Amino acid sequence: MAPPLSKILETFDNQYPDRDYTIEIVCPEFTSVCPKTGQPDFGTLTINYVPEKKCVELKSLKLYLLQFRNEGIFYENVTNRILDDLVAALHPRRMTLTAAFNARGGITTTVTATHKAEVHGK
């Protein structure tokens, strides 16, 4: 998967930067492809973050996630990859990404990763 993926993400200015508040975005229609079997994977992404100067624009987020529709990528990597891309675009005070994938072979997998800005206290 090529690097320009995160360029699709658009942001808008946080109008309330003086307050630590939380934005949670749930995307139950995420789908990518298993790199081993070539079969599609399905899951629900939950993005939870405290914005610094930027908030993510939802339509661009949808288009960004759509880029994974036909990409082959493992559960653990897609979770960390999306977190990295969102952190690069938003520089949030804190962000947690949870990716809950549908059962395969009777087994369900959920991956959760968190980023914290180093400078911002609390």
Contacts with a copy of itself by CB under 8 A lie at 14-16, 19-29, 31, 39-40, 42, 51, 55, 58-59, 61-62, 66, 69-70, 75-77, 79-80, 102-115
Query: Which positions are annotated as active-site residues?
Result: 34, 41
Shorter beta-carbon distance to a copy of itself: residue 58 or 88:
58
Q: How many CA atoms lie within 13 A of 9 on its CB side?
A: 19
Which DSSP helix (H) or strand (E) runs through 87?
A: helix 75-90
How many Å is the maximal CA-CA distance in the chain? 48
Q: Report, in Å, the least distance between residue 7 CB and a copy of itself.
A: 19
Q: Report, in Å, the least distance between residue 121 CB and a copy of itself.
A: 16
Type of residue found at 10: E
Query: Which residues face 72 on adjacent strands?
Result: 33
Q: Report, in Å, the least distance between residue 114 CB and a copy of itself.
A: 7
Shorter beta-carbon distance to a copy of itself: residue 4 or 19:
19
DSSP 72: B
